[in-house]
Amino acid sequence: MKQQPSVPLEHLSQAIEEYFAERQASILPSGKHTTDGKQLSWCGDVLEYLTEGLAERLAARGITFSKAFPGPFRLMDEDQLTDGRHVRRFWTTALDHGCPVARLCTYFFHRHDRVTLPQPPRVVAYPPGHPEPDAEEPA
């Protein structure tokens, strides 16, 4: 008998995005500091701040990741959009008590000329066997 995932797959990406929103609320309007005094000097610091603590929160529900969340970045996974934004795609596999339950793609929208993010990261959950597409565009 198969064990049901502790977090329904259709809610996994939503749970991660809600965590990002909680963390985003701690970033001051300038985008350069957090309410606890952490300094953010570039968009990568913001992504690191948003994801900090996520693995521990989901581990309490039995969800872990095959690679550190959000997953490795490859240079070919960054596209420049027409409005000056860039989008990077980070891939990892979510595991429920050690069994693959979803391939997660985190779309990280940023600008190279600003610390603040033009929009929050978006997470899309795919079935566990879904391959990493070469050039998938965010919807």
120-125 contacts at long range (C-beta below 8 A, 24 or more positions apart): 120/17, 120/20, 120/21, 120/24, 120/50, 121/17, 121/20, 121/47, 121/50, 121/70, 122/17, 123/12, 123/13, 123/16, 123/17, 123/70, 124/13, 125/9, 125/10, 125/12, 125/13, 125/94
- Which has more pLDDT, 9 or 93? 93
> What is the chain's alpha carbon radius of gyration, rounded to the nearest angstrom?
15
Give the pLDDT of residue 129.
Answer: 83
- Tell me the pTM: 0.84
pLDDT average, residue stretch 111-117: 90
pLDDT at 12: 93
Mean pLDDT of 64-87: 87
Instruction: Return the structure tokens found at 72.
Output: 């490795």
